[in-house]
Amino acid sequence: MKENTCAACDCELDATRIAVKIGGRTVEVCCEECAVALREAEAATRAVQTADK
């Protein structure tokens, strides 16, 4: 994956990029919608892992 693409939708990042902390590392997304989607995906993943224990 290229570093210059959105972590959620894979479109190219421009000046409006947003940094989002996911699981201790920072990724960049193209817009607030993608930031929210990533946070929700991470929260869902964490919930599954917690339920798995």
38: contact with Zn ion by CB under 5 A:
no
* 3-class secondary structure, 40: helix
Residue closer to Zn ion (CB basis): 12 or 52:
12
> Rounded to the nearest 5 degrees, what angle is found at the Cα of 25, between the Cα atoms of 4 and 49?
120
7: contact with Zn ion by CB under 5 A:
no
Q: What are phi and psi of 40, to 5 degrees?
A: -65, -40
CB of 37 to Zn ion, least distance (A): 8
30: contact with Zn ion by CB under 5 A:
yes
Residue closer to Zn ion (CB basis): 9 or 47:
9
